[in-house]
Amino acid sequence: MVLVKESVAARALKTKLSVENVSMTFRRDGKSMPVFENINLEVADGEFVCLLGPSGCGKTTLLNVMAGFLSPTSGSIQVDGEVVSGPDPRRIYVFQERGVFPWLTVEGNIGFGLFKLPPTEREMRIAHYVRMVGLQGFEKVYPQELSGGMKQRVEVARALAVNPDMLFLDEPFGALDSITRLVMRGELLRIWEAERKTIIFVTHDIDEAVQLADRVVVMSARPGTIQQIVNIDIPHPRDISSAHYLELRDGIFQQIGLAHKI
């Protein structure tokens, strides 16, 4: 326990990603529409952060800005002290399973980003990540023959195979059924604990955020601002019926303005 805390503290010393006064405004029909305003956030190396907020609060746009696919209207994003100016193989953006290439096999997809490696190393990497996401025996299978959960694993493995420092996950399990979603959360945590990537995970599911993240960044409705940052100080594996878990979860429910009764 003490050890874990120390390692968290040690990691917390090094800032991986810093978001400074970032605002984003879209222009539509001559009118300017603010998406989010004045976002400030620091993410430590190896940290798992969830961006949580209602639909349309700009969390996906913020993730795109962090990944370098969009430039912010003002402010700046830095990774390891360098200003982000575009997408980079060191930071991979994972979509819902729609991002898997249907013309490549499982193997081909996972090895997609490894074109600079010599063939033997490439094959070893592919085999390693096929094993990590539990797709042994499916190496030569095309995505259309896979279930949604398996496609999602392919996509995660493809991202991990290039050994990125950071993963941006955009509601990665949103299209999966609730059972597969639970399994995939467990898998993601297992992989995160093995590889210690910095993960920014967008979701609108409060339970998902509290189950996964070190910190939950709660965003308000549009124009999005950071409403609150909640530390989830429960070690993994988390007991999701413990009093502390429920307390944290209910706190976020209230923060968002939802009663947790139906």
Partner 1 sequence: MITRAQPRKWERIYWPLLASGLLLVLWHYFVIWTTTRIFPSPLEVEKGIGELLRHHVLWGDIADSLRRVAVGFGIAALLGIPVGLALGWFSAANHVVNPVMQILRPISPIAWIPIAIILFGVGDGAAVFLIFLGAFFPIVVACINGVSNVPPVFRRSGRNFGLTAPQLLARVIFPAALPQILIGLRIALGIAWLVVVAAEMIAVDSGLGYLVIDSRNSGKRYDLVIAAILLIGVIGLILDLGFRCMERIRSVRWGFRNES
Which residues in this chain contact partner 1 in the complex, by CB under 8 A? 67, 69, 87-89, 91-93, 95, 98-99, 101-104, 112-113, 115, 142-144, 162
Separation between Cα atoms, residue 176 and residue 94, nearest integer Å: 15
**Least distance from C-beta 230 to partner 1, angstroms?**
29
CB closer to partner 1, 21 vs 147:
147
Site of tokens 């305003």 = 37
CB closer to partner 1, 75 vs 87:
87
CA distances for 254 relative to 75, 149, 151, 216, 227, angstroms: 30, 32, 35, 14, 12
Which parts of the chain are beta strand (E)? 15-28, 31-44, 48-52, 74-79, 82-83, 91-94, 166-170, 198-203, 215-219, 226-231
**Least distance from C-beta 199 to partner 1, angstroms?**
16
CB closer to partner 1, 152 vs 220:
152
> Which two structure tokens, joined as six digits, stand for 230?
């909640």
CB closer to partner 1, 162 vs 230:
162
Residue 203, Cβ density class (10 Å: 0-12 exposed, 13-18 middle, ≥19 buried): buried
CB closer to partner 1, 162 vs 213:
162
**Least distance from C-beta 169 to partner 1, angstroms?**
13
> Which two structure tokens, joined as six digits, stand for 40?
């400030």
Q: Provide Rg for the chain, Cα atoms.
A: 19
Cis peptide before 237, with omega less than 30 degrees from 0?
yes
CB closer to partner 1, 48 vs 93:
93
Residue 99, Cβ density class (10 Å: 0-12 exposed, 13-18 middle, ≥19 buried): middle
**Least distance from C-beta 40 to partner 1, angstroms?**
25
CB closer to partner 1, 202 vs 209:
202
**Least distance from C-beta 39 to partner 1, angstroms?**
22
**Least distance from C-beta 2 to partner 1, angstroms?**
39
**Least distance from C-beta 60 to partner 1, angstroms?**
13
